[in-house]
Amino acid sequence: MHKSNSFYEEVLLDAIPEPTKLKSVRLISAGTMNQSVLLDTDKGAFFLKSNHLPSSDMFQQEIKGLTLLHKHAPLQIPKTIGAGHVVSQNYLLIEWIHGGYPNGSYWDNLGHGLAELHMATYPQFGLEEDNYIAVLPQRNILNDSWADFFIKERLEPMAGKAYYDGLISKDFYKKFQKIYPKLNSLIPNEKPSLLHGDLWSGNVIVNTKGDPCLIDPAIYYGHREMDLAFSKLFGGFRSEFYEAYHEIFPLEPNFETRVDIHNLYPLLVHLNLFGQSYLPGIKKVIKKFV
């Protein structure tokens, strides 16, 4: 439901130090989790997300993710204005990215930019704080081993939730866990890379210059193939993107054979968010490797 202007005025008052006049509001999306709007003001245009969810730190964690991306990625990242809680709602206010059409270097720039982001490393896999992917909690307890981190902080929490919520059977839950001992030998050993964490086409937008801009991160230091695999899950990016990435930061051989393994995590996320239509894809991967 579209909110009254008084809520948006309260957000502007809370997030921006100087008085800001609201000129107009345009609804962008109104889903079951978040409402998104464009606020046009005398200080410029802003993108606002809001929700009533009990996870009151969700948008603060998103700001931290955007800030870290801005530090390490040579791509446009929306400037953060503020996050907080007003009128019983959580909000995130960021720069509005005026849209355009991809220029001739769009996919090269995205590939090179992601490769440079992935060169940012850390002593362990994970992050100093937990955060979220969409509205689901994402645990980031630091670990020296990618396989152990992938199991303990990614696959098992999501598979366990799916079982607890009745989305998968006990038999399949046990079968799913049989892939865990295989992961260490299936995935090449690499240093932790800073990941966007939710890299699909909907989270890459085009600015007025025709360049890519990253939004809606779920950051952590992980195996860089996770971002590349996720980018292939819902249609994929153009081949120029992968070629440009490989020019800067070549992948280990046979990446394509590992894509399905990495994508077990986003498939589990979608299973928990949107239901059992994502279960056949998970079963197909488990049948392939178990």
Say which residues have a Cβ less than 8 Å from residue 189's Cβ, sequence separation at least 6.
146
Residue of 187, 257, 254 lying closest to 224 (CA atoms): 187
Write the DSSP assignment of 163-224 as a string of letters. HHTTSS-HHHHHHHHTTGGGHHHHS-----EEE-SS-SGGGEEEBTTS-EEE-S---EEE-T
Say which residues have a Cβ less than 8 Å from residue 92's Cβ, sequence separation at least 6.
48, 49, 50, 59, 62, 63, 80, 82, 83
Write the DSSP assignment of 123-157 as a string of letters. SSBB-SS-EEETTEEE----BS-HHHHIIIIIIHH
Phi-psi group of 235: left, alpha or beta (phi > 0 → left; psi -120 to 50 → alpha; rest → beta): left
Q: Which amino acid, residue 143? A: N
Q: How far apart are CA 110 and CA 74, in angstroms?
A: 9
- Which residue among 57, 144, 148, 198 is the active-site one? 198
Cα-flanking dihedrals φ and ψ of residue 262, to 5°?
-60, -35
Q: How far apart are CA 38 and CA 134, in angstroms?
A: 20
144 is catalytic: no
Show which residues are catalytic: 198
